[in-house]
Amino acid sequence: MSAVYINSASCISVQDTLKENILQNLTPVSSSNIIKAIEPPYKEFIPPAMIRRMSKTVKMSSVASHHALQEAGIDQPDAIIVGTGMGCSQDSEKFLKNVIDHGEEFLTPTFFIQSTHNTVAGQIALGLQCHAYNFTYVNTSSSLEFSLLDAQLQINDGEAQNILVGSTDEQTDRTMELYVLNHTIKQETDLPADYLNSSTSGVVWGEGASFFVVGKEKTQSTYAKLKNINISNRVLLGEVEVFIQNFLSQNNLSHNDIDAVILGFSGDAGSDAYYTKASKLFPASSQLYYKHLSGEFNTASGFSIFMACHILRDQKIPEVMKINTVQKEEIRNVLLYNHLGGSDHSLVLLEKA
C-alpha cells in the first residue's frame, strides 16, 4: 500500500496544543488522577446558539477540525472519518438519567439523538455542508488507527484526494466515578503517578480531540508521510517483539532504522509491561513517552501522532518526552506503539516527508 501525507495536524488536549511552539511548552501532569482538556474560546468558531446544544466532544472536534482544514487549505474534504472510543458520553449520561428520573416515560429524544457515536462526524459535515463519505469507527484504543487506515485505502484506491481524519473522547462525571471504583483510574493514594516505573495499577485519565488532513500529494503544510499501520486486538506479552519485528519487516526496515519510538506508558504497572518489552528492541533509538502529557483515554494515540508530526517536521524532540538519551542527527522514521489496558494494540509508522 502506498504512503500518504499528513498535511495538517490540530489537537485540543490537556496541553495548550492550539498555540504555536507547542514543543517548548509541554507540562507533565502527575498529581491528579483525572485531567481535563484546555478548551478554546468556542464562540470564536461556533455560533452561541449552537454551543449550548453541543457536548464537549462535539465542540472540541468542531474547533480542531476547523484548524486542521484551515492549515491544509482545504474547504471541502473528500471524506470525513472520525474515531472515538466513548462517543458523546455526556449526552448518553443525560439520556440515561432522564430514563431513570422519568420512569422510562415522557422522554425528549434530543439527548438520545445527540448521544450517538457518529454525532461528531455528522456535525462537522453539517457545518461544512459536506455530502461526501462520512464514517465513524468505534474500536476503543485503535479507533483513530482504523480511521487512518480507511483514509489510506481510499486515497490509494483513487476514491479521494484529501480526507479529514480525527479522533475524540470526552470525560463524564458518572463514568469517571465508575472508572475510579473499578481501578481503571488511579487511586488518589497512588499519586503522584510514576509513568515509567509504576508499581501501582490504574491510569491518569485525560481527554481531547486530534484532527488531521490526509492527502495523496505532499504540500507546503505537510508534516509527515504515513507509511503503514498494523492493528491487533490481542497480543500476548511474549509476542510483543515478534509483533513489532514482523511489522518492521513488512516495511523493509530493521529496529536500527527507527530513529524514534513513541511508547504509550500510562503508569499502569500491569499493562505497561508491553512497552517495557518493546523498548528493549530499540536500544539505539530515541525512546519517548507522552501520556504524562495527555493522560490515558481511548483515543490518546491522536496526541502521540500529533506530537510525532511536529517532531518530524521540526526535527526536534522535547526533553520532557525522552526516556533515554539517544539523539539521532536526523529523525526520519518514527514508530508509535499503543494499546489500552493490554488490548487493541496498534503500530503506526511515520516517515519524514
pLDDT digits (tens, 9 = 90+) for 177-186: 999 999 999 9
Q: Tell me, what's the pLDDT at 20?
A: 84
Beta-carbon contacts of residue 96 (< 8 Å; ≥ 6 apart): none
What's the rounded mean pLDDT across residues 292-300? 97
Give the mean model confidence (pLDDT) for residues 300-311: 98
Tell me: pLDDT of 205 over 90: yes
Q: What is the distance between the alpha carbons of residues 21 and 38, in angstroms, rounded to a whole number? A: 16
Angle in degrees, CA 65, 108, 54, rounded to 5: 20
Query: Does 322 score more than 90 pLDDT?
Result: yes
Fold assignment, 4-215: Peroxisomal Thiolase; Chain A, domain 1 (3.40.47)
Query: Residues spanned by CATH 3.40.47.10 within the chain?
Result: 4-215, 227-352
What number is the average pLDDT over the span 28-51? 91
Query: For the segment 66-108, what is each residue's pLDDT rounded down to a tens digit?
Result: 999 999 999 999 999 999 998 877 777 777 777 888 777 777 7
Q: What does the pLDDT average to over 247-253?
A: 97
For 280-308, what is the mean pLDDT?
97
- Number of continuous H segments (helices) and E segments (strands) in the chain: 11, 10
Give the ranges where 21-137 is alpha helix by DSSP (H): 48-51, 56-72, 89-101, 110-114, 119-128
Percent of the chain surpassing pLDDT 70: 100
Rounded CA separation 44/60 (Å): 13
The whole-number pLDDT of residue 96 equals 78
The C-alpha atoms of residue 123 and residue 126 are separated, in whole angstroms, by: 5
| pLDDT at residue 100, rounded to an integer | 84
pLDDT at 132 over 90: yes
Q: 209 — phi, psi (to 5°)? A: -140, 130
Region 199-228: mean pLDDT is 97
pLDDT, tens digit, 9 for 90 and up, residues 147-184: 999 999 999 999 999 999 999 999 998 899 999 999 99
Specify burial of residue 166 (Cβ count, 10 A radius: 0-12, 13-18, 19+).
buried
pLDDT value at residue 282: 97
Res 317: pLDDT: 96
pLDDT at 279: 97
Residue 152 confidence (pLDDT): 97
Report the candidate in 75, 46, 76, 79 with the shortest Cα–Cα distance to residue 60. Answer: 46
State the pTM of this model. 0.94
Rounded distance between C-alpha atoms, residue 44 and residue 41, angstroms = 6
Three cell numbers written together for 229: 499501520
Q: Helix (H, G, I), strand (E, B), or coil: what is residue 160?
A: coil
The pLDDT value given to residue 87: 84
Give the pLDDT confidence score for residue 153 in this predicted structure: 97
3 state DSSP class of 35 = coil
Which pLDDT value is given to residue 99? 81
**Averaged pLDDT of the chain:** 94
The mean pLDDT value for 204-230 works out to 97
Which of the following CATH numbers is that of domain 227-352: 3.40.50.720, 3.40.630.30, 3.40.50.300, 3.40.47.10? 3.40.47.10
Q: Residue 46 — pLDDT band, cuts 50, 70, 90?
A: confident
Percent of the chain with pLDDT over 90: 83
